[in-house]
Homo-oligomer: A and B are copies of this chain.
Amino acid sequence: MLELRLVQGSLLKKVLESVKDLVNDANFDCSATGFSLQAMDSSHVALVALLLRSEGFEHYRCDRNISMGMNLGNMAKMLKCAGNDDIITIKADDGSDTVTFMFESPTQDKIADFEMKLMDIDSEHLGIPEAEYHAIVRMPSAEFCRICKDLSSIGDTVVISVTKEGVKFSTRGDIGTANIVCRQNTTVDKPEEATVIEMNEPVSLTFALRYLNSFTKASPLSNTVTISLSSELPVVVEYKIAEMGYVRFYLAPKIEEDEEETKP
């Protein structure tokens, strides 16, 4: 028996909107500690890891560990039918091949339940070791989203270079080149508007903008995004989910023969 009641149901709606275009089918894993997902994107280039901790739910009952295979597109379709102020409850009976999403309006005058068939999905759960990163950039999520979108109008890849002074995003394409520098800035009125750089050593890595643009669909989940970079590791783009967990996206850097050309 599984019953997870999330008062701020809009969070789950936003989570699905942020991953549904990247991942088609995935297993949601439910245990005493929380509701989580780990999945590769359909082209096996990027990895998504989601965690919603049990403490963040108003009511959290999970009698035994369970893994539920879902089509994220269909799940997103159903969650779109929840109002933004609705309470969402995820329910599954032991051994059932369906999951039920229940939406309660704040006034309790409208109750909807959507039942979805579960799928059998093969998945390898990758262990993701905690790692030391050369540089960690925290910046407004809307700013990162805008930069990835803007650079996509010029080129296909972005070089992200971090120094103590700031982070530089560069691209080049047929019509020209673009460089955007965001300076470290911690003296802002609102902490979520700060750009904060923790750096052990300078790093400069190239990524496909297509994936970064997909990751930024998680921007509604959090005002800030954290980008962790190391030359030997995939970049981690993390959006915290207030008091509940996170959505993290992992993407390996591109090893480009002509990468030097786009360096400053």
Contact = CB atoms under 8 A, between A and B. Distances in A.
Most chain B beta carbons < 10 A, residue from A74, A109, A115: A109
A150 B112 CA distance: 11
Interface stretch (A54-62, A125-133, A176-184): A176-184
Nearest to A181: B111
Given A77-B154, A78-B154, A153-B81, A176 B109 contact: no
B181 A110 contact: yes
B74 A116 contact: no
Interface size class of A (residues with CB under 8 A): 20 to 34
B80 A175 contact: no
Interface in A69-114: 71, 74, 77-78, 80-81, 98, 107-114
What is the copy number of this chain in the assembly? 3
> DSSP majority for the A interface?
strand
Interface string A114-144: 1111000000000000000000000000010
B114 A178 contact: yes
A195 B109 contact: yes
Contacts of A108: 183
B81 A150 contact: yes
Closest 4 CB pairs of A and B: A81-B150, A116-B176, A112-B180, A74-B175
Interface of A: 71, 74, 77-78, 80-81, 98, 107-117, 143, 150-151, 153-154, 175-183, 185, 195
